Structure 1
Amino acid sequence: MNQRANQQPSRAAPQSWLGHRLEVFVEAIAHGGHCVARHDGRVIFVRHALPGERVLAEVTEDRGGSFCRADAVEIRTAAPDRVRRPCPYAHPGGCGGCDFQHVSLPGQRALKAAVVAEQLSRLAGLEWAVTVQPLDDGNGLGWRRRVRFAVGPGGELGLRAHRSHHVVPLSHCPIGAPGVGDARALRSDWPGLAELEVAVDDRGEVVELAHRERPARPRRTGDRGRRGGDRRSARPVLSTEQLSGPPALHYAVAGRRFTVHPAGFWQTHPRAAEVFTETVLRAAAPRPGERVLDLYAGSGLFTAALASAVTGTGSVLGLEAEAVAVTDAGHNLADQPWAGVRRATVSAETIRAATAELGSAEQDSAEPGGAERGRAAGVDIVVLDPPRSGAGREVLTAILAAAPRVVVYVACDPAALARDVRFAMDAGWRLDDLSAFDAFPMTHHVECVAVLRPGSGG
């Protein structure tokens, strides 16, 4: 065979577009807070733009390949939903914390709905009409009750530019809640810190947490490591120190009071915890005597609500990896001895163990009108609120193997949710309902509550 005939013609590496300005027509919104445009056969992910606009886009990142990234630096034809940005830092090259400051609030929610629907279509094969609901009737500002400010080289506080380590100094943050967006810490410099975190609770109590960078101990590997030779370098880690504020933050949901460690997780929008709890309860419809598994339970927000519904004849077991959150949950659930949160990483193994424990408890203690008993294992309801990466196939498989009558999935990333919904559908389950909420106005983030039930997965 002629060797020359098998050779492919070589292609010269494309010239970088970095810094070039290109006039483009903006197409659909994409997951991540940018829109799609095209030029000379390449995709350009454009920030600060809106679908239907014609803009002058300046390329900010080009690593070759089929796409690059850009900012819309001039709007040639504006979309109807474009508005004046309320934040002076939310512009090309400025703060990267908000994606949609240039969009009306109804327009923001329409964009988020389109993203959720597109992810369900592309990753789960579902055509689903999505509506994103507001959590309040405000103007999208002053809601964020926890902000982790970065510290610049001179000690000034700010937030990082998009996909950059560059710190944009701030005098205030318009989406920050009172005590956070106008934090007194913003008026000082903080040399030596990596980040300064500020949070506020329902009482208006403010805490400040200092995060300092310290190198992690290098890990020895193999015999050479034990002889003091070959070592792996480790990424620096952050130590945390509370600088000011109370020893705990306090929140109230549906008449119950919760205490949370200053560094612990709580929903950052003031209305989020209550609305999500109501939505979870409505979807799960727990009954007295039922057994519930609450995964990624945190400080016990959903655990407590579910425990109130199943009453003392039922049981709720939460799994949570963070020790501080488990301690908080112990305090928050002290008046509900039939409910608890255990420290455990959520995995197929820990789910099987928790399922067996719940299924074997009080097998013959059902009250009239309560849940049916008699299974050696299994649960009636599973609620999960996983991190942004989602639950994943192994965890979903273990959940569905527990044979609950309903799974309620709280998701902060629509792509991860869509992938997990597809896993469930492949196992014979169906998406029965989905609610979406604008819990993070001015950003691309959206919270969803999906309801999965046994049945045809499609």
Structure 2
Amino acid sequence: MPTAHSSSMAASLVGREYEVEVGPVAHGGHCVARTAEGQVLFVRHTLPGERVVARVTEGREDSRFLRADAVTVLTASKDRVPAPCPFSGPGKCGGCDWQHVKPGAQRRLKGEVLAEQLRALAGLTPEEAGWDGTVEPAPGDKVAPGEVPAWRTRVQYAVDDEGRAGLRRHRSHEVEPVDRCLIAAEGVTELGIEHRRWPGIATVEAIAATGSSDRMAILTPRPGARLPLVELDRPVSVMRAEGERGRGGEHPVHRVHGRAFVRERADDRTWRVSGGGFWQSHREAAGVLVDAVMRGLTPRKGEMALDLYCGAGLFAGALAERLGERGAVLGIEASRRAVEDARHNLADFPRVRVEQGTVAKVLPRTGITEADLVVLDPPRAGAGEEVVRRVAALGARRIAYVACDPAALARDLAHFRTAGYVPRFLRALDLFPMTQHMECVAILQPVTAASAR
């Protein structure tokens, strides 16, 4: 085994080119190939079955695998199309993995990735997971090859040293300046962020609420810089952020101009989401996910439900509406801003309570030992074994697990099986067109209930 010293002395292979036959798609938006010497290549901008020239972007002679871009396509797949975005391709924007793939083929590839993760990490076939093998497009996203649905209502632009807005390159802090992001929703594009300079700014996050005219720009200044006067092409609220932001993060966000929140519409309700708070980025995602979760759980009047990682309260509100006056819902969320939003959004439901803190710490403190229904919508890393074990101990008749990462989903399904829960059915939803990402909703039930079917 190479030592740390010998590894650091190994020659870099960055820039070397290999002619390879491309194998199956893998989790992460790339396909697997091998060099003539047997070294594994993870290749972007290609498709299974193609023959390409792959140029190494990361790796050394002794690396376990190399990362590469397909820079020349020698034999093209029937699923390949010219990338409609001029900023997509080797060395360019890292946001869209599959601009070069027909829309229907993108969904088939996502299905192959999900099936492999279920097999490898959960030991489940699609049939055992209750999944029919399809990845469903969101309403309005069925487009012809070469067309791009404008779905993304939240876009974070990076700003280069010259003040130009763009998007980061793959696995890089370098910025690819753009004049338009094709997947950005119309409400984002109409702000015109890409057409002005942003001196002293590190990032600009553009938000276009669904179902209202609310627009917001969240600016993160570079250290020591002052905010410029913001003049965009449409009325917009402006917020100032300090540092990088994550879904559950508590980085300070200050109102500069306009409202400190946007109003989103979903499930026939209006939801306040404060600047920097989490909300699904696809214009249809909130409604699609609520429908999938409620259909799977089949809530009954008077039941007790938990909404874990509840964010602004989307699933808690949907549950409360369906459980009636005798029902009760407890939400748990780590972000203080999201908890404030959830309490505001759910104030008309007297039997809904929202607690602030991590699920792993707060759930044991609640004293709740039983629940009829549970919804989990954890961050990308998943819920983890400890949370799964605590949730399973509640004895819920059904659990809805919402996942944005198929590997995390599969790992947690394995934990649930150990704890006595198995999938009743699973839906895969293409809520991130042109990328390798997807959402899944798994409905779980106790093993005893599954055996009785």
Correspondence for 2:314: 301
Q: For 2:318, give the aligned amino acid.
A: A
Assess if the C-alpha contact under 8 Å between 2:134 and 2:428 holds in 1: yes
Correspondence for 1:105: 103
TM-score with structure 1 setting the length? 0.85
Q: 2:18 aligns with which of 12, 22, 27?
A: 22
Assess if the C-alpha contact under 8 Å between 1:410 and 1:447 holds in 2: yes
Correspondences of 1:180-199 after superposition (within 5 Å): 180-199=188-207
Correspondence for 2:423: 431
1:340 aligns with 2:353: yes
Distance 1:239 1:36 in 2: 41
Question: Taking structure 1 as reference, are residues 167 and 240 closer, same or farther at Cα in structure 2, changes over 3 Å only?
Answer: farther
Q: CA deviation at 1:179?
A: 2.9
Assess if the C-alpha contact under 8 Å between 1:172 and 1:182 holds in 2: no
Assess if the C-alpha contact under 8 Å between 1:206 and 1:245 holds in 2: no
Distance 1:83 1:325 in 2: 41
1:442 aligns with 2:440: no
Deviations 1:71-104 (A, max 9, x none): 0111111111111111110111100000010001
Q: For 1:89, give the aligned amino acid.
A: F
Deviations 1:212-264 (A, max 9, x none): 3559xxxxxxxxxxxxxxxxxxx976754445553321122222121211321
1:32 aligns with 2:24: no
Deviates more, 1:429-438 or 1:240-249: 240-249
Correspondences of 1:51-200 after superposition (within 5 Å): 51-63=48-60, 64-128=62-126, 129-138=132-141, 139=143, 140-200=148-208
Q: How many residues are paired up? A: 408
Distance 2:348 2:293 in 1: 21
Q: CA deviation at 1:42?
A: 0.7
Deviations 1:95-128 (A, max 9, x none): 0000010001101000111111100000001111
Correspondences of 1:256-275 after superposition (within 5 Å): 256-275=269-288
Question: Taking structure 1 as reference, are residues 132 and 244 closer, same or farther at Cα in structure 2, changes over 3 Å only?
Answer: farther
Q: CA deviation at 1:205?
A: 2.2
Assess if the C-alpha contact under 8 Å between 2:165 and 2:177 holds in 1: yes
Distance 1:177 1:185 in 2: 13
Q: 2:411 aligns with which of 414, 419, 423?
A: 419
1:350 aligns with 2:359: no
Distance 2:335 2:253 in 1: 15
Q: For 1:49, give the aligned amino acid.
A: T
Deviates more, 1:54-63 or 1:414-423: 54-63
Correspondence for 1:372: none
Identity %: 46
Secondary structure at the aligned position of 2:188 is classed as coil
Assess if the C-alpha contact under 8 Å between 1:289 and 1:314 holds in 2: yes
Assess if the C-alpha contact under 8 Å between 1:293 and 1:317 holds in 2: yes
Q: For 1:438, give the aligned amino acid.
A: D
Unaligned runs of 5+ in 2: 1-5, 127-131, 225-241, 245-250
Correspondence for 1:46: 43
Q: For 1:79, give the aligned amino acid.
A: S
Q: CA deviation at 1:148?
A: 0.8
Distance 1:214 1:94 in 2: 27
Distance 2:223 2:373 in 1: 43
Distance 1:245 1:91 in 2: 38
Correspondence for 2:326: 313
Correspondences of 1:218-237 after superposition (within 5 Å): none
Question: Taking structure 1 as reference, are residues 163 and 281 closer, same or farther at Cα in structure 2, changes over 3 Å only?
Answer: same
Correspondence for 2:233: none
1:408 aligns with 2:416: no
Secondary structure at the aligned position of 2:435 is classed as coil
* Structure 1 vs Structure 2 CA RMSD: 2.0
Question: Taking structure 1 as reference, are residues 244 and 55 closer, same or farther at Cα in structure 2, changes over 3 Å only?
Answer: farther
Deviations 1:192-228 (A, max 9, x none): 222111101122321111113559xxxxxxxxxxxxx
Assess if the C-alpha contact under 8 Å between 2:392 and 2:420 holds in 1: no
Q: For 1:22, give the aligned amino acid.
A: Y
Distance 1:424 1:56 in 2: 43
Q: CA deviation at 1:312?
A: 1.2
Q: CA deviation at 1:191?
A: 2.0
Deviates more, 1:137-146 or 1:53-62: 137-146
Q: CA deviation at 1:380?
A: 0.6
1:253 aligns with 2:266: yes
Q: CA deviation at 1:182?
A: 4.6
